[in-house]
Structure 1
Amino acid sequence: MTNRVIDWPTFIGALILLLLVTVPLIIFPEEGKLYVDAANTYVTTNFGVLYLLMGIAVFFFLVYVAFSENGRVKLGEKEERPEFNDFSWAGMLFCAGIGSSILYWATIEWAYYYQGPPFGIEPGSRQAIVWSSTYGIFHWGPIAWAIYTLPALPMAYFYYVRKSPVLKVSEATRPLIGKLADGPLGTLIDVLFIFGLLGGAGTTLALGTPMIAEGINRLTGLETNMIMNVGILAGVTLIFGISAYSGLRKGIKILSDLNLFLAFFLLAFMYVLGPTRFITETTTNSIGVLLDNFFHMSTWTEPFNRLGPFTKSGFPEAWTVFYWAWWLVYAPFVGLFVAKISRGRTIKQMILGTIIYGTIGSLLFFGVMGNYGLHLQLTGQLDVISILNNEGAPVAILDVISTLPWAPFIILIFTVLAIIFLATTFDSSSYILASVVQKEVADEPLRWNRLFWAFALCLLPLTLMFLGGLDTLQTASIVGGFPLIFIMIMLAWSFMKASNRDIEVSDQYKPKVINLNYKKILEKLRRGKKKQEPPQKGPVDAHFEEDDPNR
């Protein structure tokens, strides 16, 4: 049974690609790092504008789809209610898409912009302070969640409307590439997705593990070293391994709900007992600055700083392009996961819900945690920037948290939250990776398959952590994710082609929601095909190929 269900070319192809990338890095770490960094510089410098255009185009494309007829299509049966309530649904998509990285960057990202602001602004000036509290919200805002949402459209559509029991990126491009989705091209698309996700997971581990280790150090006094990092990875792996084994409705849902409750508690505690007025006013001001400058920030490329006497800061490549590339690497995974949990919702609800809930969640973290740290810096209570530059981000982050009342208790909450955030991202990742390497997923992927990818997600970054090559892997994943720009275009095109055709053929319209009975649509297409065929001698095969890209 297993041999028939597992898509072995994709399974083995993903592992081979990982070995081809990681083994040379292990054997020749210094030379490998130089080559990967050079490739990253080449891609972000020469194609950075492509990432920026992709980001804003995806955002406006999704807004169009949400308010078009396509957005009224329901993902499931006519009377079917959403499988998960709004709280659990929002919690699962947010935890899967963000992870412990948001605890890291929400607390400290402003400090980087304070020292190296955009638009040629003087570091540490009043304008630099304004932009330092705004740019993090932009990088984790609507465009980021739009990039996440796009792959969910065709995947959810084919899984719940066309009833295809396949959760693959290649399957979502079938209306465009036809039967090539079953061949080497389809396998390549899925393998690139898996490689990008495994590399992107290394980024999350690289940020989350030292931060958790520093939290444990503050609570227990234990030294932060490789042994502690291994112990953290082992503990996180055990948590998300159990969760992945338990499945979507038990393990992942429960873990995400717990995560959301702890996050709300931490943010409410910091907001109420911190500088409430400053946090409120600064966050409100940042929203206004973002709305005023959304297009400028989305398309800023420093074109004139490459020539003449002007100094090039490298800000767009170092921050905006890197973030769009990072979201892009994770996009097929988050899209697959959002598609899987969105049964019973309309496409409009899925699009707007993901972008709005995701943006609000990120806004709360950056607005409260970021502006709390900024307030400490501006009032002289804690020199966050000096600690960041001299002792590193994990120490600076925990120093910020330590200034709160009941510091040991809050550090405990923060550390547990970081562990669960990391676990929810990885159990969702292992669930989706297992789905991608199966030929079909009737309900949930095979348990042994989920567990295999749960441990694979941990062992590779752990090996590279011993060798000090984790930064190289995450950079390689960004470079490897470059082809995903074109795959995103294919996904958008495939969705529009398939849904427009189905809506055109179907006559089952409702005032607010379109319920597409795909069996009846296929029957209509079969009948139409029979009428168009010229009379033939002998029996006629009237079988309609569902995978025909020209239908």
Structure 2
Amino acid sequence: MSKLKKIDWPLIILPITGVFTVSLILTLFPVQSHHDLTIVRSFLNGHFSFFYILVAIFFLCSTLYAAFSRYGKIKLGDLNDKPQYSNLHWGILVFTSTMSADIIFYSLCEWMMYAQEPFIKQKHNIFEWSLTYSLFHWGPIVWSFYIMLAVAFAYMLFVTKNKRQKFSEACRPLFGGLIDGIVGKLIDLIAVFALIAATASTFSMSMPLLATAVGNLVGIHNIRKLSLMLLIIVVLIYLTVSVIGMKAITKLSLICYTFFIGLMIYILLFSGSMDFILDSGIQATGNLLQNFVGMATTINSKGFTQDWTIYYWSYWIVWCVATPFFIGSISRGRTIKDVILRGYAWGLGGTYLSFIVLSNFGISRQIQHLVNAIGDVQSGKTYSQVIMKIMETLPQYRIAVILLILSMIGLYSTVFDSITMVVSKYSYRDLSIEEDPSKLMRGMWAVVFVMLPLSLLISNSSIYNIQSVAIIAAFPTAIIMILIVISFYKKSRNSLKNNEY
């Protein structure tokens, strides 16, 4: 009953009402929804592409400044606090709580998407540049969003010891008492809506691959129905784990990471393409280092920047409502520099491993003419179907498919465990860092998160529609993120003044 009195009811009722409304509109009026989303996305792309680019540069520079300036010495907690988790365990939690199953989906097929783009086709080596852009879009810039905000949230939780675990509270140093009124409510509502858009994008993009993989093993070919069934199974898993609490989340993250690494090792050892995978990975990484600045500041690229770079910046921005908060919550006792550098190491290490191994595995099959992945996509096959054709080129491919299925289910579950925990904390007016949200609250949000993805799957929304949802939600969220960073620097100056770092 004590927690019931602390609930911030408007922050629960308004987003839930909005989710049901949007889900109903997308399901009942798919054609009109596509038209409306196209108009809004075209407006943002046409007038505000520069904004997304500047936000990206701002966050990357901010993390580097925070790590290597005096701010990097600030301890996130009391001076005698020790890290709650070992470096290995902390790193695994960071990766599995941020990387959903879509990293596997995109690692396996993004090179096909890029290889069909006019901007990439004009390059001297299409496949090298396709992988280079994957490493760019999943690289330091997007991880800077998570890492910088994780530092800001950890500072709020463990240094200022704020009992209100809300997105808006991170802006209090700028807005003061206004956070207790309409300004704070507006910030938190935008945050929750953005998080719902993030879950919709993740489930809708990669669930068909999971369904196709399961269908391949059990002989079921109705992918849409199987997607809906698997979505419910995933929800039940992360609902159970999130209700149990952090101990279950921690154990699940270790299991999930084991399956993920197992998939990488199997493909490296048994694909027969290890040399190609490693050589191409090194070349693409070198290409990224040589061209990073130009890639980060390009806007006019035959629409490639708007269709892909802006989408990826937006996609990670909407996830910034929850995942950085979770990273911050497990970082007590670490210095700011430690969180930033280790965050980059674990984040980039995991994502680059996935793309270098899985993308180059697919590219090797295309080059060796074992599959015609690009031709199959152009002829109308889905990316999930083409990915399965690539997987079937492996010896005892079902082992790899099982590892893929277990990795995807695990990554779905670990990510949604963490965000369910975070958004449940947002739902209270005040909650100390030692307190957990009620099981009923966590269960309720676990169900709400699945509503919009279900509507997108039922309405068979296109990739364009799913991307548009993220881009639109990211615009106001990015503004709030900048305010949070400014608030952090304003408040943390006191630590530098009052302590010798």
The alignment's TM-score, normalised by the length of structure 1, stands at 0.86
After superposition, the C-alpha distances for 1:355-413 in whole angstroms (9 at most, x for unaligned) are 22111111101111100110110111111112233311111112222211221121111
Q: Aligned with 2:309: secondary structure?
A: helix
Distance 1:455 1:470, change over 3 A: farther
Which letter does structure 2 place at the counterpart of 1:483? Answer: P
Aligned position for 2:480? 487
Question: Structure 1 residue 269: deviation in Å?
Answer: 1.5
Judge conservation of contact 1:22–1:473 (CA < 8 Å) in 2. Answer: no
Distance 1:387 1:470, change over 3 A: closer
Deviates more, 1:145-154 or 1:455-464: 455-464
The alignment's TM-score, normalised by the length of structure 2, stands at 0.95
C-alpha separation in 1, matches of 2:466 and 2:337: 36
Aligned position for 2:50? 49
Q: Rg larger in 1 or in 2?
A: 1
Picking from 218, 221, 224, the partner of 1:223 is 221
Aligned position for 1:410? 400
Report 1 or 2 for greater relative contact order, CA contacts < 8 Å, sequence distance ≥ 6.
2
1:134 aligns with 2:119: no
C-alpha separation in 2, matches of 1:391 and 1:320: 25
Aligned position for 2:15? 14
Judge conservation of contact 1:373–1:400 (CA < 8 Å) in 2. Answer: yes
Question: Structure 1 residue 117: deviation in Å?
Answer: 5.2
Distance 1:436 1:301, change over 3 A: same
Picking from 469, 478, 488, the partner of 1:476 is 469
Q: Aligned with 2:334: secondary structure?
A: coil
Aligned position for 1:73? 74
Question: Structure 1 residue 128: deviation in Å?
Answer: 1.5
Which letter does structure 2 place at the counterpart of 1:220? Answer: V
Judge conservation of contact 1:196–1:478 (CA < 8 Å) in 2. Answer: no
Q: Aligned with 1:483: secondary structure?
A: helix
User: What do you get for the CA RMSD once the two structures are aligned?
Assistant: 1.7
Aligned position for 1:212? 210
Aligned position for 2:366? 377
C-alpha separation in 2, matches of 1:348 and 1:441: 27
Aligned position for 1:422? 412
C-alpha separation in 1, matches of 2:118 and 2:338: 37
1:445 aligns with 2:437: yes
Which letter does structure 2 place at the counterpart of 1:461? Answer: P
Q: Matches of residues 118-157 of structure 1 in structure 2 within 5 Å?
A: 118=119, 121=122, 126-157=124-155
Question: Structure 1 residue 33: deviation in Å?
Answer: 2.0
Aligned position for 2:492? 499
1:99 aligns with 2:91: no
Question: Structure 1 residue 77: deviation in Å?
Answer: 2.5
Question: Structure 1 residue 129: deviation in Å?
Answer: 2.2
Distance 1:456 1:470, change over 3 A: farther
Judge conservation of contact 1:150–1:488 (CA < 8 Å) in 2. Answer: no
Distance 1:27 1:272, change over 3 A: closer
Q: Aligned with 2:125: secondary structure?
A: helix
1:241 aligns with 2:239: yes
Question: Structure 1 residue 483: deviation in Å?
Answer: 0.9
C-alpha separation in 1, matches of 2:488 and 2:385: 46
Judge conservation of contact 2:256–2:407 (CA < 8 Å) in 1. Answer: yes
C-alpha separation in 1, matches of 2:111 and 2:30: 32
Judge conservation of contact 1:150–1:491 (CA < 8 Å) in 2. Answer: no
Deviates more, 1:61-70 or 1:266-275: 266-275
Question: Structure 1 residue 27: deviation in Å?
Answer: 4.1
Which letter does structure 1 place at the counterpart of 2:36? Answer: Y
Picking from 362, 368, 375, the partner of 1:386 is 375
Question: Structure 1 residue 276: deviation in Å?
Answer: 1.2
Which letter does structure 2 place at the counterpart of 1:258? Answer: I
Picking from 390, 394, 398, the partner of 2:388 is 398
Aligned position for 1:314? 303
Which letter does structure 2 place at the counterpart of 1:448? Answer: L
C-alpha separation in 2, matches of 1:355 and 1:234: 33
Which letter does structure 1 place at the counterpart of 2:440? Answer: W
Picking from 267, 274, 294, the partner of 1:270 is 267
Question: Structure 1 residue 496: deviation in Å?
Answer: 0.4
C-alpha separation in 2, matches of 1:446 and 1:501: 35
Q: Aligned with 2:47: secondary structure?
A: helix
Which letter does structure 2 place at the counterpart of 1:92? Answer: L
Which letter does structure 2 place at the counterpart of 1:369? Answer: L
1:282 aligns with 2:280: yes
C-alpha separation in 2, matches of 1:176 and 1:49: 25
1:187 aligns with 2:180: no
After superposition, the C-alpha distances for 1:457-500 in whole angstroms (9 at most, x for unaligned) are 11332244223358646523420220122112101110000000
Aligned position for 1:338? 327
Judge conservation of contact 1:202–1:470 (CA < 8 Å) in 2. Answer: no
Which letter does structure 1 place at the counterpart of 2:336? Answer: I
Judge conservation of contact 1:99–1:425 (CA < 8 Å) in 2. Answer: yes
Question: Structure 1 residue 212: deviation in Å?
Answer: 0.9
C-alpha separation in 2, matches of 1:100 and 1:119: 26
Aligned position for 1:467? 459
Judge conservation of contact 1:142–1:356 (CA < 8 Å) in 2. Answer: no
Question: Structure 1 residue 73: deviation in Å?
Answer: 1.1
Aligned position for 1:526? none
Q: Matches of residues 348-367 of structure 1 in structure 2 within 5 Å?
A: 348-367=337-356
Aligned position for 2:30? 29
Picking from 249, 254, 259, the partner of 2:251 is 254
Q: Aligned with 2:475: secondary structure?
A: coil
Aligned position for 1:525? none
Picking from 311, 322, 326, the partner of 2:315 is 326
Judge conservation of contact 2:421–2:442 (CA < 8 Å) in 1. Answer: yes
C-alpha separation in 2, matches of 1:264 and 1:24: 40
Which letter does structure 2 place at the counterpart of 1:360? Answer: G
Gaps of 5+ in 1: 303-311, 515-551
After superposition, the C-alpha distances for 1:318-362 in whole angstroms (9 at most, x for unaligned) are 111110011111112111111111112111111122222111111
Judge conservation of contact 1:199–1:474 (CA < 8 Å) in 2. Answer: no
Which letter does structure 2 place at the counterpart of 1:375? Answer: S
Judge conservation of contact 1:149–1:334 (CA < 8 Å) in 2. Answer: no
